[in-house]
Amino acid sequence: MFKKILIANRGEIACRIIKTARRMVIATVAVYSDADARAPFVKMADEAVHIGPSPAAQSYLLAEKIIEACKATGAEAVHPGYGFLSERTSFAEALAAEGIAFIGPPVNAIAAMGDKIESKKLAMQAGVNVVPGFVGEIDDTEHAVRISAEIGYPVMMKASAGGGGKGMRLAYSEQDVREGFEAVKREGLNSFGDDRVFIEKFILNPRHIEIQILGDQHGNILYLNERECSIQRRHQKVVEEAPSPFVSPMMRKAMGEQCVALSRAVGYYSAGTVELIVSGADPSGESFYFLEMNTRLQVEHPVTECITGIDLVEQMIRVAYGEKLAFTQDDIKIDGWAIENRVYAEDPYRGFLPSTGRLVRYNPPVTGWEGGIRGVDGVRVDDGVMDGGEVSMFYDPMIAKLITWGPTRDEAADLQIAALDQFEIEGLGHNIDFVSAIMQHPRFRSGELTTGFIAEEYPGGFQGAPASDELLRQIAAVAGFMACANADRARQVDGQLGDDLDPPGDWQITVNGVAHDVEIGADEILVDGVSINLFLEYTPGDKLVIAEIDDSDLAIKVAKTATGFAMTTRGATHKVRCLPAHIAPLAQHMIEKIPPDLSRYLICPMPGLITAVHVEAGDKVEAGQPLAIVEAMKMENILRAEKSGTVKIVNVKAGDSLAVDAIILEME
C-alpha cells in the first residue's frame, strides 16, 4: 500500500480524504494557498506545502506546483478530490510522466467522459439514450441562437468541461441565449480552463438521478445503487439522498447495467458517477437519458457510503494501488436511507446571494469527522472550516455537508431537521433555515421531486418555513421562561428589581407581531390559558437552548435583541418581544424606526468583482434590464434594474473589487 499520498484539493474534501488515509495508516500531504494557510485541512495533514496566492488559477489549478510538492515530500500518489484538477487529462498525464500514481480513473477514460461533448458522442455510439441537442463546438452567439431555435426552447447551454453547477444557463428565448452564451463561455474558461459550449434540449419536469460506479484495474466494474439529486438551485445540487424514492428495483438494475456498460466501453476504473435525467412525464420511469459522467468522486458520495457501508475514498486508494475489489455486485445492498444537505454561505432571505466573511461562530451538531461512515447516532458532518475561520470569495460557498442516516426516509429527514436546529453559524448568511424548510415540506416528504422543486415551491423567494400555532405557543413559552430567568439574573447581579421583588411571572410575549399571554408558575407554564409541559435548563447568555416539551426536544438558537430575542428553530427565525404584562399596554406608544428609501441605488449584494457595466450616466433603463455583472465564488450574477428610470451616476468600472452594500450606481 502507498506510504504517503498528497491531496490536491482543499476544504472538506481534503479533510475527508485525510480521515480515511489515517485509518489506512497512510501519511498525508496537504497543499494550500494564501487564503487557506490556517485552514483545518492544513492542520490535519501530516505535512503541508504552500503553493501560491489565493486565486485557484494561481495555486490549486497549477499542476506543476502539485508535482513539485510531491517531489519535495516524497508523496507516491495524488488524490484530486473533486473540482480543480480532478478531471484534467493533462494533470493525470503529467503525474504518470513523473512516476506518481493518480488516485482516479485512467487518462483515456477522463478524456472520453470528462469532456461533455465527446462523452455524448461516445454514449450515442454505445447505444445509450442521450438528451437531444447539438453535439459539437459552437462558434459564437449567433451560431448559438440558430442552434437553439432548431432544437426548440427551452434549451440548456453548458460549458463542455463544466461541473458542479458552474458554466450552465437555461434559456427560454433568443434573448436568454444572447444574454447567457458569453457568460457560460467565461465561466467555463475561468473555472475549468475551457470555453467550449454545447447546447441541448431542456427536459421539462426532470428528475436528476445518478449512478455510483466503482471499478478496479482487473476489469471488475460495479454499480453502487443510485442517488436522487433533483433538488437544485441554479443547477447546483442542494439536497441529495440514497436511494431514490422514485427508482424501482427493475429501473435500478436497468440504469446500473447501462452505466456499467458505458464505463466498460472506456476501460473505466476507480469511483465515478453517471448522471441521468429521468422524464417526469413518463410515470413508468423508463425514459431516462445519459447526461454526463463525472470521472471523480462526487460531493454527495457520503449518502452512498451510508447505505452500502463502503468507504469510497478507501476503495479509490486501493484500486489506484492495483488491488482487486473485495466484493461483487451481489454484495451491494441497500441498508436504510441517507440524506445530505449542503450548508452554503448564501442568504436565502436575500435571494440566495453569496455571503463571504468570518465565521464568528461555527458549532455543528456533531464534531466534523467524528464517528464512522454514519457519523454519531446517524448524524455525520463533513466540513473544512472552524470557529473564527473565513469563507473566502475565491472558492466554492459550501461551508459543510450534513448527512443523516436512518432506517427509513422519514427518520433520516427528521434527523436532518433536529440536527439543523442545532447547527450554529454566525457572521455570514447561510441556508440552514432553507434546507430545514425543504425537509419539512409536504412535497419533499411525498417524494414528488423534480429539478424545478425550488423554483416551483418558492416562486417569490424564501421567507422562512411556516410555523404551526402549536410551535408558536411553544416558542412563546420558552421565551417567557428565558425572560423570567434574565430578569431574575438582573435582580441578583445588580439589584435592578430590588432585593425583595421577584421577577415578573406574567408576561406578554409577542411572536412575529402576535401577542401571547404567558404565565410563569412554579410548576407549570400557561400560554393563552393553555398549559405547556416545559423543561428547560437555561443560563442567561446561552446561544442554543434545548427545550423538552411533552417528552420531545426542541432546539432553538437564540440571539438577544433590545426588546427580546431572535429565536431560530424549524427553518425560520422568529422575532420575539418580551414585556412584563403590566408594561405591555405602553408598547403601542413606542416609536418604530423606518428604514431609509434606497430604491434609487444599485447596491452590490455581495463582495465580488465587477466584470461588466452595461450602462452610463444619462442612459434610460427599463425594469429588468441588465445593469452590471458581479462575479463572486466563481459564479456570475447579473444585476438588473428594479424599475424604469434614468442613470444619474455610475461609481464603478469593470475590474473593480467591491464590498457588500457598495453603491454601484444611482438613478435620477
Contacting residues for 275 by C-beta, under 8 A, at least 6 apart: 208, 209, 210, 229, 290, 291, 292, 293, 294
Asked whether 404 and 415 are in contact (CB, 8 A), the reply is yes
pLDDT at residue 340, as a whole number: 98
pLDDT at residue 80, as a whole number: 98
Section 389-413 average pLDDT: 94
Give residue-wise pLDDT tens across range 533-562. 999 999 999 999 999 998 899 999 999 998
Section 453-473 average pLDDT: 94
431: nearest Cα among 363, 341, 348? 348
Cell numbers placing 113: 467522459
- Range(s) within the chain of domains with CATH label 3.30.470.20: 207-335, 337-466
Mean pLDDT of the chain: 91
Cell numbers placing 202: 431542456
Superfamily assignment of 132-201 in CATH? ATP-grasp fold, A domain (3.30.1490.20)
CATH of domain 337-466: 3.30.470.20
Residue 77 dihedral angles phi and psi, to the nearest 5°: -150, 160
Q: Higher-confidence residue: 79 or 631?
A: 79
Amino acid identity, position 40: P
Neighbours of 62 (CB within 10 A): 18
d(CA 65, CA 84) in angstroms, rounded, equals 13
Provide long-range contacts, Cβ within 8 A and 24+ apart, for 136-145. Answer: 136/198, 137/196, 137/198, 138/181, 138/196, 138/197, 138/198, 138/199, 141/177, 141/178, 141/181, 141/182, 144/177, 144/181, 144/197, 144/199, 145/174, 145/177, 145/178
Residue that has been written with the C-alpha cell 465527446 in this structure: 118
- Percentages helix, strand, coil for the chain (3-state, rounded to 5) are 30, 35, 40
For this structure, is 292 an active site residue? Answer: yes
The fold of 469-589 is Glycoprotein, Type 4 Pilin (3.30.700)
Contacting residues for 349 by C-beta, under 8 A, at least 6 apart: 429, 433, 461, 462, 463, 464
Give residue-wise pLDDT tens across range 337-388. 999 999 999 999 988 888 888 899 999 999 999 999 999 999 999 999 999 9
pLDDT at residue 501, as a whole number: 47
Match domain 207-335 to its CATH number in 3.90.226.10, 3.40.50.620, 3.40.50.970, 3.30.470.20. 3.30.470.20
Buried b or exposed e, range 623-635, using 16+ CB within 10 angstroms: eeeebbbbbbbbb
d(CA 242, CA 238) in angstroms, rounded, equals 14
d(CA 428, CA 440) in angstroms, rounded, equals 24
Torsion, Cα 329 332 334 340, to 10 degrees, reads -110
Cell numbers placing 563: 426588546
Asked whether 210 and 241 are in contact (CB, 8 A), the reply is no
Section 76-103 average pLDDT: 97
Is the domain spanning 4-103 CATH 3.30.43.10? The answer is no
Neighbours of 495 (CB within 10 A): 10
Beta bridge partners of 102: 78
d(CA 460, CA 476) in angstroms, rounded, equals 28
97 φ/ψ sector (left φ>0, alpha ψ -120 to 50, else beta): alpha
Chain centroid to CA 62 = 26
pLDDT over 70, % of the chain = 94
Distances (CA, A) of 380 to 95, 339, 341, 400, 520: 33, 10, 11, 10, 38
**Pick the catalytic residue: 275, 292, 305, 424?**
292
pLDDT at residue 495, as a whole number: 57
pLDDT at residue 284, as a whole number: 56
Distances (CA, A) of 145 to 194, 331, 355, 638: 21, 49, 34, 20
Q: Higher-confidence residue: 374 or 191?
A: 374
The enclosing H or E element of 304 equals helix 301-308
Amino acid identity, position 198: F
Q: Which CATH class is domain 601-667?
A: mainly beta
H-assigned helices in 38-102: 40-44, 63-73, 89-97
- Range(s) within the chain of domains with CATH label 2.40.50.100: 601-667
- State yes or no: pLDDT of 500 exceeds 60: no
pLDDT at residue 356, as a whole number: 81
Q: Higher-confidence residue: 601 or 191?
A: 601
Asked whether 604 and 630 are in contact (CB, 8 A), the reply is yes
Section 597-613 average pLDDT: 87
- State yes or no: pLDDT of 503 exceeds 70: no
d(CA 104, CA 269) in angstroms, rounded, equals 7
Sign, Cα dihedral of 138, 263, 402, 512: positive
d(CA 188, CA 197) in angstroms, rounded, equals 8
Residue 336, class by beta-carbon neighbours within 10 Å (0-12 exposed, 13-18 middle, 19+ buried)? middle
Cell numbers placing 430: 447561510
pLDDT at residue 660, as a whole number: 83
Section 397-413 average pLDDT: 97
- State yes or no: pLDDT of 403 exceeds 80: yes
Contacting residues for 226 by C-beta, under 8 A, at least 6 apart: 209, 210, 211, 212, 242, 243, 244, 247, 252, 255, 256
Give residue-wise pLDDT tens across range 301-350. 999 999 999 999 999 999 999 999 999 999 999 999 999 999 999 999 98
Asked whether 32 and 65 are in contact (CB, 8 A), the reply is no
Of the listed ranges 27-31, 109-113, 119-123, 581-585, the least confidently predicted one is: 581-585
Section 54-64 average pLDDT: 96
Which DSSP letter does residue 375 get?
Answer: B
Distances (CA, A) of 64 to 8, 42, 59, 67: 11, 20, 10, 5
- State yes or no: pLDDT of 498 exceeds 70: no
pLDDT at residue 165, as a whole number: 67
- pLDDT tier for residue 60 given thresholds of 50, 70 and 90: very high
- pLDDT tier for residue 291 given thresholds of 50, 70 and 90: confident
Residue 288, class by beta-carbon neighbours within 10 Å (0-12 exposed, 13-18 middle, 19+ buried)? buried
pLDDT at residue 283, as a whole number: 55
